[in-house]
Amino acid sequence: MIRFVKHNEIDTDKWDECIKKSVNSLPYAFSWYLDIIVVHWNALVLNDYEAVFPLPTRQKFSLKYSFTPFWVQQLGLFSKTFKGLERVSDFVAAIPKQYRFVELNMNHYAPLQANPAFQIKENNNFLLLLNKPYQEQIQDYSKNLKRNLKKASLKGLQLFKNDSPKGLIQLFRADKGRSVGHFSETDYQKLERIMHVAVHKHCGQVWMAYDEGNRPLAGMFLLFGPKSVILLFSGNSKEGKECAAMPFLIDEFIKESANSSLVFDFEGSNDENLARFYKSFGAVNYMYQNLKINRLPLPLRFFK
């Protein structure tokens, strides 16, 4: 039986055990992660936590709605069995009617079939299987990527692991952050909190590239799950772009993790330039769905 469970009634030990053992486990769905990124979340639970479906929740003008929080790409249904994933439509149908509006990114392992009760939009996400030796992995690299890695090797870049989360965020804010208007101070604070907690839990690492003068050029935050590692956040500099510091960092991780069961998740992108960059490593597009259910009163329905 699928039941609706309020946040304060969720057994977080059973919840996290379900996410950990899910055939489609993603780190976004662990209770500690959800607790950081959203003030309140409820859930749909199958029997004794055999499958779960988080519902990040807000309320506006007395209307309750569910949404995809910042710093999350995919949620949806998580199940300990592949058979359980086939029940995704049942879970969506079980979302309480009190949720007058729903806009959730579903994970690509449990896609929905078209239904007049909701709308579906597809988004790009690029994944790289690290199941081959490094020398075989790089055979899938593009010619342009190989040229950039050669350029990076001539610059004598240095790799540092477990660097400062704050330093990586500052690197981003000094560069791309100036032109990204939708990042609030709260978003940055939540990101730094995610990094610190993940590092403490041994499921997060900050990797930074420095030049020979010990100046930070580029960095990335890696979020580890049971089956994948997500490139959750990255920062670059003008000098870093000129000497291919970001390709250097990603290649170093691939070199270290090759011939494993890990999947490297680039976390996007619908942006053509980023998609081209991710594909240059041999990554493959695994589409995921955005689910939209609009039960708002008629005057408001057309604004969403």
Same domain, 106 and 154: no
Q: What is the CATH number of the domain that holds 232?
A: 3.40.630.30
Same domain, 53 and 147: no
Same domain, 67 and 211: no
Percent of the chain with pLDDT over 70: 96
pLDDT for 301: 61
Same domain, 10 and 84: yes
Average pLDDT over residues 267-279: 94
Q: Where in the sequence is the domain holding 244, given as residue range(s)?
A: 127-285
8-14 contacts at long range (C-beta below 8 A, 24 or more positions apart): 10/42, 10/43, 10/45, 11/49, 14/48, 14/49
Q: What is the CATH number of the domain that holds 292?
A: 3.40.630
Q: What is the pLDDT of residues 282-295, one digit of tens each?
A: 999 999 999 999 99
Strand partners, 120: 291
Average pLDDT over residues 10-25: 98
Same domain, 107 and 7: yes
Average pLDDT over residues 180-200: 92
What's the CA gap between 28 and 37, in Å, rounded?
9
Same domain, 54 and 156: no
Average pLDDT over residues 225-248: 96
pLDDT for 251: 98
What's the CA gap between 194 and 204, in Å, rounded?
9
Q: What is the pLDDT of residues 85-141, one digit of tens each?
A: 999 999 999 999 999 999 999 999 999 999 999 999 999 999 999 999 999 999 999
Same domain, 201 and 180: yes
Same domain, 62 and 165: no
> Within its chain, how far is the Cα of 260 from the centroid?
20
Q: How many domains does the chain have?
A: 2
Same domain, 61 and 149: no
